[in-house]
Structure 1
Amino acid sequence: MAKTAKKSSNEKSSNVATGETHSALLKLFTDEIKDIYWAEKHLTKALPKMKKAASSSELQEAFATHLEQTKEHVGRLEQVFELLEKKPQAKKCDAMEGLVQEGESIIEDTDDGTATRDVGLILAAQKVEHYEIATYGGLTQLAKTLGRDDIADLLAETLSEEKETDELLTEIAESNVNYASAEEEA
């Protein structure tokens, strides 16, 4: 039984080298690039709203900085399309649409100018960052599997920035926003 499983595993490994499997993986990879491209472009519209809704100047600055980074992420993805010899094309990302809607709900459901709203905005933003970290991590590995280290390097650069943003949001929450929220009246 173990030999069969091992043989099956080896067969799968050798199949990865076939053009048909490579083509299917490249198609999946390209579709996922289209998905994150839509997501990043959508974020360029959502981040200014989040910045405006935040009351902490530190959080506002973090959103402003990440907006500029997100524009760079869009540009890097356009470079990826160019390297793939494809026209930049977005495919609606249902996950990002839902995450952004969740952030909008937090704005609607919390009082303006409160630390509680800022806590909610940080939570919403970190959900977005975690989605992006998972996506860019997976895409970086797929690019390497496809032998496209040039693309993997671009995606890894964005992955690193997404992780830094997530860490910054944690620092903002832990340094004062969470504590200020705990002192507010319900």
Structure 2
Amino acid sequence: MAAKSLNDLFVHALSDVYSAEKQLTKALPKLARAATNPDLSAAFKAHLEETQGQIERIDRVVESTDIKLKRVKCVAMEGLVEEGQEHIEEIEQGPIRDAALIAAAQKVEHYEIATYGTLAALAKKLGYTDAMNLLLETLKEEKATDEKLTLLAEQQVSEEEAGTSALNRAGKQSVK
């Protein structure tokens, strides 16, 4: 990418995140099927619907700015999706895989948070007020998803600790 202006940079970053979101729509159903925790599976399904809305929002950004997206493939998202797929293939189904899927999903969210924050700042600088507001709406959703994933991770760790504590207590009682 040879950006010669802030607008070129904006177009490239928007094109890149469009590719990222499209890739994510293919990955999220796989994550939902691979999760054993029903809340985690539901979160992935809900995020798929949200992601489809975010793609529509990018289309509205394109309309409001009268720009044309470039055909690019987001290699960052490609790597993040691949990492999630490796977890599915290499970790036995259960709570450890779920924890790995949450971590992989949070990496995706953090990438998207950084991207949408940058895009909103560029849109503001370029005077694309409508686009900026749309991008900030998506940024808010990405942050909320990250928070939901954090809560799921904390809930899962608490359940694991409770299970381990109960096993330890039972083991100590049987030794006596």
TM-score (norm 2): 0.86
- Structure 1 pair 111–50 and aligned structure 2 pair: CA distance change class (3 A): same
Residue matched to 1:105: 86
Gap regions ≥5 residues in structure 1: 1-22
Give the aligned residue type for 2:111: Y
What is the CA-CA distance between 1:91 and the residue it aligns to?
1.4
3-state DSSP class of the match of 2:5?
helix
Give the aligned residue type for 1:149: T
**Is 1:159 the counterpart of 2:139 in the alignment?**
yes
- Alignment root-mean-square deviation, CA: 1.5
Report percent identity of matched pairs. 50
For residues 1-186 of structure 1, the aligned pairs below 5 Å read 24-112=5-93, 114-175=94-155, 177-181=156-160
Cα deviation, 1:74-125, whole Å, max 9, x if unaligned, reads 000011111222345441111000000000011111112x100100000000
Alpha-carbon contact 2:65-2:128 (below 8 Å) kept: no
Residue matched to 2:174: none
Alpha-carbon contact 2:28-2:44 (below 8 Å) kept: yes
Cα distance between partner residues in 1 of 2:16 and 2:64: 17
Cα distance between partner residues in 2 of 1:66 and 1:109: 24
Gap regions ≥5 residues in structure 2: 165-176
What is the CA-CA distance between 1:178 and the residue it aligns to?
2.3
What is the CA-CA distance between 1:181 and the residue it aligns to?
5.0
Alpha-carbon contact 1:36-1:93 (below 8 Å) kept: yes
Alpha-carbon contact 2:11-2:70 (below 8 Å) kept: no
Cα distance between partner residues in 1 of 2:71 and 2:41: 28
Cα distance between partner residues in 2 of 1:91 and 1:27: 13
Cα distance between partner residues in 1 of 2:8 and 2:23: 23
TM-score (norm 1): 0.82
Cα distance between partner residues in 2 of 1:180 and 1:53: 19
Alpha-carbon contact 2:12-2:69 (below 8 Å) kept: no
